[in-house]
């Protein structure tokens, strides 16, 4: 479904309904963090070019008289996400020479600032996949460097927990524990990874992944 946020909210709802135990839900939440990376890989492989076809196929599939037509909406909205990222790429191109935009992006040189921006943006758009996709677009356009893109992605992992916390706020204790555990897990993951940002950047650059435009 291309959304760790949706998976996390569903897990919290199932815990509240007694379908999943607190312990079982943690496995689902951890898996959601892995599954959400697939969208980023597809964007990096430039499969966004197929966005119009995905939208068309998803729209048509939604009207077919078969049980699997339920997948039509998933394909349709998946295409919409890709198409939106294509629009971002289109409008970022002229902005990379704009002095104001360059000054704003320059502030992302601080890892903590990048994490904060990534977290806030993700909390607003309710999707870490979108934030990661935007970071990939920005780096492919040469608007930001690799060192600035990585903190944005780390921040996205924190911001994506906001929806789960909001969804669980008025549910039972087990559901709230699940949401808080999700947040703690993601925040600790970022904090544990933070000291290795420099080493990761150097490793990626040594493999030719410097973030320079293709």
d(CA 52, CA 49): 8
Phi, psi (rounded to 5 degrees) for 3: -155, 110
With a pLDDT cut of 70, the percent of the chain lying above it is 83
pLDDT band (50, 70, 90) for residue 188 = very high
Q: For the segment 97-142, what is each residue's pLDDT rounded down to a tens digit?
A: 666 665 666 666 678 888 998 899 888 887 787 788 788 877 777 7
Contact criterion met (CB below 8 Å) for 4 and 33: yes
Task: Tell me the chain's radius of gyration from C-alpha atoms.
Answer: 18
Distance between first and last Cα of the chain: 29
C-alpha 10/C-alpha 178 separation (Å) is 11
The CA distance from 145 to 132, in Å, is: 14
């Amino acid at each position: 479904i291309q959304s760790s946020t949706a998976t996390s909210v569903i897990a919290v709802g199932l815990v509240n309904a007694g379908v999943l135990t607190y312990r079982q839900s943690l496995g689902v939440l951890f898996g959601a963090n892995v599954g959400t990376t697939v969208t980023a890989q597809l964007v990096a492989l430039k499969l966004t070019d197929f966005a119009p076809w995905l939208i068309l196929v998803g729209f048509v599939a939604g009207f077919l008289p078969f049980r699997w037509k339920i997948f039509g909406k998933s394909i349709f909205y998946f295409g919409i996400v890709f198409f939106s990222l294509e629009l971002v790429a289109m409008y970022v191109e002229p902005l990379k020479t704009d002095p104001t935009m360059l000054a704003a992006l320059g502030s992302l040189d601080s890892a903590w600032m990048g994490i904060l921006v990534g977290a806030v943006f993700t909390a607003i758009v309710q999707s870490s996949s979108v934030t990661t996709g935007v970071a990939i677009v920005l780096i492919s356009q040469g608007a930001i460097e690799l060192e600035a893109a990585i903190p944005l992605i780390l921040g996205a992992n924190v911001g994506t927990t906001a929806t789960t916390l909001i969804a669980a706020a008025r549910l039972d204790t087990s559901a709230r524990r699940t949401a808080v555990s999700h947040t703690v897990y993601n925040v600790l993951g970022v904090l544990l990874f933070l000291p290795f940002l420099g080493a990761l950047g150097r490793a990626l650059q040594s493999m030719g992944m410097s973030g320079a435009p293709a």
